[in-house]
A and B are shown apart, each in its own frame.
Chain A
Amino acid sequence: MRAPAVAEARPVAAPSARRGGAGRAVPRQLHPGAWWLWALGCATAASRTTNVLLLLLVIAVLGYVVSARRTAAPWARAFGVFLKVAGVVLVFRTVFQIVLAPSQPGLLLFTLPEVPLPDWAAGVTLGGPVTGEAVLAAVSDGLRLATLLLCIGAANALANPKRLLAVLPAALYEVGIAVVVAITFTPQLVESVQRIRGARRLRGRPHRGPRSVIQVALPVLEDALERSLALAAAMDSRGYGRRAAVPTATRRATGVLLLGGLLGACFGVYGLLDASSSLPAALSALASGLVVCGAGLHLAGRRTVRSRYRPDPWRSPEWLTTAAGLTAAALVVVAGGIDPSAISPSVSPLAVPPFPPLAAAGILVALLPAFVTPPPTLHGAGPSHAELDAAVGTDRPQVPA
């Protein structure tokens, strides 16, 4: 079973080793949190602009980093899936805007047959003249949405979603484990649907059609329930849910801190993504919200007694990756402050969008992780044997321990 896996993985890992720079670093998985922060940075940058050139640059950066640093693990294929979804979103967004939005003055491309709509649908038109300006506006908007999707796709492809759950603060551990269990249960549910549908046929009952769906649902749910009970019993007997005693005052303080912090953080994020609000206010709300939240989580973590097996280390590549993402976001935001017309260019009159050098440089900084991070190991979970053997001696301490 091992040999084919290695053979499949090689084409993915080899280019990154050839690209030099990080070629000599010991392969390891980057901390999933670093990838997500980087992707969020890119997403913030993308969300602030409708400049098609900048958005295309973000997509190129994402694509390059993903192809250089993804593994052979199943989740690494997420980027391809997200690319397709993003394409569909772009096309739909554009077509809907062209067909449904009121026509704008400008360069007339073609005219769609107009369908008269009743009064209650005021503001919505169906068809009519289509101008180049309207198309460009629709494409830029759709592209921004698609780029945001791709940022999430890149994070998914680069970081094992489950490892990300594992780095949640101790207080959120139980939420994390619930998500892990749910993820594991999905394939099992599909399997039990197939099994029970097959069994229905063997009893001479219809196994297709809407009626059978309802009749299959009951045994499938029973099956899932039984499995959940078995899992609950197993987790209980393996020590899940051991708790430390915590005074009531601490518990109340935890609640207040968490709730207040979350509210602050929400306002901050809203302000940051909404280009019209004041930037310093948004940033300070976000920062103070996060600090309060962190304090709350730290207090809440006191109740949970557990340790972590092979935690992902946070070293300089993680700092650099996070910094690269945040720099991209910061520079695009700053460039928007200096010259809003370059970051969110007007579609009329129709012209090639300007190319703001500062924002472009910021986005290019996000390319850094493709070179400064260690290459990934062949599988997602950790270093393989051959790699461990190769790493014995000089580089051993570099391997996550």
Chain B
Amino acid sequence: MIDLDRVTVTYDGAARPSLHDVSLHVPEGELCLVIGPTGTGKTTLLRTVNGLVPHSTGGTLRGRVTVGGRDTRTHPPRDMADLVGVVGQDPLAGMVTDVVEEELAYGMESLALPADVMRRRVEETLDLLGLVHLRHRPVRTLSGGERQRVAIGSVLTVGPRVLVLDEPTSALDPPAAEEVLAALHRLVHDLGITVLLAEHRLERVVQFADRVVLLRGDGGPPVVGDPATVLAQAPVAPPVVELGRVARWSPLPLTVRDARRSAGPLRERLTGHQPRRRGVDRDGTPIAEVRDLVVRYGPTVALRGVDLALHRGEVVALMGRNGAGKSSLLAALTGSVSPAAGDVRVAGQDPSALSGAALIAEVGLVPQQPADLLYAPTVAEECAAADADADVPDGTCRQLLERLVPGLDDDHHPRDLSEGQRLALVLAIVLTAAPALLLLDEPTRGLDLGAKVRLVEVLEELAAEGHAIVLASHDVELVAEVATRTVVIADGEVVADGPTAEVVVGSPAFAPQVSKVLAPEPWLTVTEVAEALAVLP
């Protein structure tokens, strides 16, 4: 169905190709997963399929891309629209109209389908993706999972035979991600649609894949094969695969279910042992304290009566659905929103009264879109500005950056960096002022597993140095790795607050894979299991 024949893509002005000599054949009806570290050309590969690369992005494409017999050389994206449906990373960015039903019809209108066909297909698609109750809703009021399903639906109505999705679940909370994946599974199995999908959250998608393409980014050809074979060679794999490696299971499990069936002996060996975990002294004066906090936006109450104390060395994970109030709590801690009632203190002061250097010395936030904090045209200028803002010696920010991502070119434009590099740059800028309280909003969105491992190391170092860290995240694996304490927020209220292991074990939405495999024993990460196995006989 999809054929790439020795495809090399070089963007204008780029020193080396983004995609080098890739050949790939995806047969009809397969779900093909594209993985690889950030910056290895996953998005570029996906966008060659309907000709967006190079027709809309510019650059040079050597080789040949054909889909269903149509060559993208002679067919611009609009002439592929009836064959290939493309859903980008941010579903909202690709929406043309503002109401769900009209959005579903938009593509068909462009293709001049007859009115009765349009009407029927909209209804079918609403049913297929479970969107019936949302048909008249403005798309901006939808939750993340709903938006993603509407975006999928809107390209599905024209009846494409290929669906291309770029990180469809990265920004979603676990239940919403499941919604989207269930819908995709249905499309592949019931309708025989060929799906090409890029995703960093391997643990969520690898079980659905028929074939995995690993882009290595070192100039060599991609590794293509069935999931177990490719993951065995991949530098980083989802926790369940890593657990299989540590426990020397063969074949490697891809799903929690497979792993659980092999895990009986491992569970027995581990019985009676406790994972080693870093303790946190929570007796002293807290760095930040929130008492009976109420935050409201007009009639909407985002937080109602939240109490929270944050101590030195703690890493606190805030979990909960999209829109539960996590970002509002972070905003209140930085003083960006004023409480309607209650009290927020950071280092004994009201953060909303602070500004300038006094503010950034107490609290730093890495926002959901890190690029918001970047203004300068080059990395070097950005670092110099951060030094000046924080009133620290020149070069402080650059040194921090070097520690996070070694060898980043000074002359790069911050917007040209990969997600991981950009996050590192923003983290370095925020850390330049050495804030006692560090807040991160969805830090792993768009990060590959390698970058996540580095982020975990950095966060642990910072916690050991005495920073208090709060991270709002949907990434249960990250939380299991790094958080000493987990706070679950629902509907603006704290519904659970305790050591991570106690909160997440047994929770269907928040439990990491290792915990699902080894429950009811309180193991959360592969590292803990590996350490325990190393000292065991």
Query: Which residues of A are interface residues toward B (Cβ below 8 A)?
Result: 1-2, 162, 177, 180-181, 184, 187, 195-196, 198-199, 201-206, 215, 218-219, 222, 227, 230-242, 305-311, 379, 381-382, 384-385, 401
Identify which of residues 305-358 in chain B touch chain A, using a CB-to-CB cut-off of 8 Å: 331, 334, 336, 355-357
Check A309/B109 contact, CB under 8 A, given A204-B433, A219-B375, A381-B136.
yes
CA A203 to CA B370, docked complex, whole Å: 12
Least CB distance, A219 to chain B, in whole angstroms: 6
CA A203 to CA B56, docked complex, whole Å: 35
Measured CB to CB, the nearest residue on chain B to A162 is B98
Which of B119, B140, B155 is close to A309, meaning CB atoms less than 8 Å apart?
B119
Identify which of residues 55-87 in chain B touch chain A, using a CB-to-CB cut-off of 8 Å: 55-57, 76-82, 84-86
CA A180 to CA B103, docked complex, whole Å: 12
With A232-B56, A241-B110, A307-B114 given, name 16 new contacts (CB 8 A). A162-B98, A177-B96, A198-B367, A199-B373, A204-B389, A204-B433, A206-B355, A233-B88, A234-B95, A236-B76, A237-B84, A237-B85, A238-B107, A239-B82, A239-B111, A240-B96
Is the pair A218, B52 in contact by a Cβ cutoff of 8 Å? no
The yes or no answer to B101 lying at the interface (CB within 8 A) is yes
Least CB distance, A392 to chain B, in whole angstroms: 14
Which of B78, B95, B108, B118 is close to A236, meaning CB atoms less than 8 Å apart?
B78
Least CB distance, A399 to chain B, in whole angstroms: 11
Is the pair B94, A196 in contact by a Cβ cutoff of 8 Å? no
B90-118: CB near A (< 8 Å → 1, else 0) gives 10011111110110011111111111001
Is the pair B56, A236 in contact by a Cβ cutoff of 8 Å? yes
Q: Report chain B residues within 8 Å CB of A309.
A: 102, 105-106, 108-109, 115, 118-119, 122
Is the pair B52, A233 in contact by a Cβ cutoff of 8 Å? yes
Which of A1, A180, A204, A206 is close to B360, meaning CB atoms less than 8 Å apart?
A204
Measured CB to CB, the nearest residue on chain A to B360 is A204
Which of A184, A206, A232, A238 is close to B155, meaning CB atoms less than 8 Å apart?
A238
Interface residue tally on B, bucketed by range: 35 or more
Pairs across A and B, CB under 8 Å, 23 listed:
A2-B133, A201-B334, A202-B359, A202-B364, A202-B367, A204-B433, A205-B356, A219-B372, A227-B93, A233-B88, A236-B78, A237-B80, A239-B81, A239-B82, A240-B110, A306-B109, A306-B112, A307-B115, A309-B102, A309-B108, A309-B119, A310-B115, A310-B119
Measured CB to CB, the nearest residue on chain A to B433 is A204
Measured CB to CB, the nearest residue on chain B to A243 is B78
Q: Report chain A residues within 8 Å CB of B303.
A: none
Check A1/B96 contact, CB under 8 A, given A202-B373, A239-B158, A310-B105.
no
Is the pair B372, A230 in contact by a Cβ cutoff of 8 Å? no
Q: Report chain A residues within 8 Å CB of B122.
A: 309
Q: Report chain B residues within 8 Å CB of A203.
A: 360, 373, 386, 389, 429
Top-3 shortest CB links A-B: A234-B94, A239-B81, A309-B105
Is the pair B86, A237 in contact by a Cβ cutoff of 8 Å? yes
Which of B119, B334, B356, B372 is close to A196, meaning CB atoms less than 8 Å apart?
B372
Is the pair B78, A401 in contact by a Cβ cutoff of 8 Å? no
Is the pair B356, A1 in contact by a Cβ cutoff of 8 Å? no
Least CB distance, B362 to chain A, in whole angstroms: 11
The yes or no answer to B186 lying at the interface (CB within 8 A) is no
Is the pair A305, B155 in contact by a Cβ cutoff of 8 Å? no
Q: Report chain B residues within 8 Å CB of A308.
A: 109, 115
CA A195 to CA B373, docked complex, whole Å: 10
Q: Report chain A residues within 8 Å CB of B52.
A: 233, 236-237
CA A307 to CA B141, docked complex, whole Å: 27
CA A196 to CA B78, docked complex, whole Å: 34
B354-382: CB near A (< 8 Å → 1, else 0) gives 01110110001101010011110000000
Measured CB to CB, the nearest residue on chain B to A166 is B102
Which of B96, B98, B136 is close to A238, meaning CB atoms less than 8 Å apart?
B96
Is the pair B137, A239 in contact by a Cβ cutoff of 8 Å? no
The yes or no answer to B50 lying at the interface (CB within 8 A) is yes
Measured CB to CB, the nearest residue on chain B to A199 is B372
Is the pair A204, B112 in contact by a Cβ cutoff of 8 Å? no
The yes or no answer to B390 lying at the interface (CB within 8 A) is yes
The yes or no answer to B403 lying at the interface (CB within 8 A) is no
The yes or no answer to B415 lying at the interface (CB within 8 A) is yes
Is the pair A306, B415 in contact by a Cβ cutoff of 8 Å? no
Count A/B pairs, Cβ under 8 Å: 161
Q: Report chain A residues within 8 Å CB of B55.
A: 236
Which of B78, B96, B334 is close to A241, meaning CB atoms less than 8 Å apart?
B78
Q: Report chain B residues within 8 Å CB of A201.
A: 334, 336, 355, 359
Is the pair B137, A1 in contact by a Cβ cutoff of 8 Å? yes
CA A102 to CA B369, docked complex, whole Å: 60
Check A307/B81 contact, CB under 8 A, given A187-B140, A384-B136.
no
Is the pair B94, A215 in contact by a Cβ cutoff of 8 Å? no
Measured CB to CB, the nearest residue on chain A to B373 is A199
Q: Report chain B residues within 8 Å CB of A305.
A: 112
Is the pair B359, A231 in contact by a Cβ cutoff of 8 Å? no
Identify which of residues 409-443 in chain B touch chain A, using a CB-to-CB cut-off of 8 Å: 415, 429-430, 433
Is the pair A307, B118 in contact by a Cβ cutoff of 8 Å? yes
Measured CB to CB, the nearest residue on chain A to B337 is A198
Most buried by B among A202, A231, A381: A202
Q: Report chain B residues within 8 Å CB of A382.
A: 101, 136
Which of A180, A181, A242 is close to B110, meaning CB atoms less than 8 Å apart?
A242
Is the pair A231, B98 in contact by a Cβ cutoff of 8 Å? no
Is the pair A204, B355 in contact by a Cβ cutoff of 8 Å? yes
Least CB distance, A383 to chain B, in whole angstroms: 9
Q: Report chain B residues within 8 Å CB of A205.
A: 356, 389
CA A204 to CA B84, docked complex, whole Å: 46
Least CB distance, A200 to chain B, in whole angstroms: 8
Identify which of residues 37-55 in chain B touch chain A, using a CB-to-CB cut-off of 8 Å: 50, 52, 55
CA A202 to CA B337, docked complex, whole Å: 12
CA A202 to CA B375, docked complex, whole Å: 13
Which of B112, B154, B355, B364 is close to A307, meaning CB atoms less than 8 Å apart?
B112
Is the pair B78, A239 in contact by a Cβ cutoff of 8 Å? yes
Q: Report chain B residues within 8 Å CB of A307.
A: 108-109, 112-115, 118
Is the pair A235, B96 in contact by a Cβ cutoff of 8 Å? yes
Is the pair B79, A202 in contact by a Cβ cutoff of 8 Å? no
Measured CB to CB, the nearest residue on chain B to A377 is B136
CA A382 to CA B76, docked complex, whole Å: 35
Is the pair A180, B373 in contact by a Cβ cutoff of 8 Å? no
CA A199 to CA B364, docked complex, whole Å: 10
CA A239 to CA B77, docked complex, whole Å: 7
CA A310 to CA B161, docked complex, whole Å: 25
Q: Report chain A residues within 8 Å CB of B114.
A: 307
Which of B82, B85, B115, B336 is close to A198, meaning CB atoms less than 8 Å apart?
B336
Which of A2, A204, A242 is close to B356, meaning CB atoms less than 8 Å apart?
A204
Measured CB to CB, the nearest residue on chain B to A191 is B140
Measured CB to CB, the nearest residue on chain A to B105 is A309
Least CB distance, B148 to chain A, in whole angstroms: 14
Is the pair B357, A231 in contact by a Cβ cutoff of 8 Å? no
Is the pair B50, A237 in contact by a Cβ cutoff of 8 Å? yes
Is the pair A231, B96 in contact by a Cβ cutoff of 8 Å? yes
CA A1 to CA B98, docked complex, whole Å: 17
Q: Report chain A residues within 8 Å CB of B132.
A: 385
CA A384 to CA B135, docked complex, whole Å: 9
Least CB distance, A84 to chain B, in whole angstroms: 20
Q: Report chain A residues within 8 Å CB of B140.
A: 187
Which of A199, A233, A237 is close to B81, meaning CB atoms less than 8 Å apart?
A237
Q: Report chain A residues within 8 Å CB of B88.
A: 230, 233-234
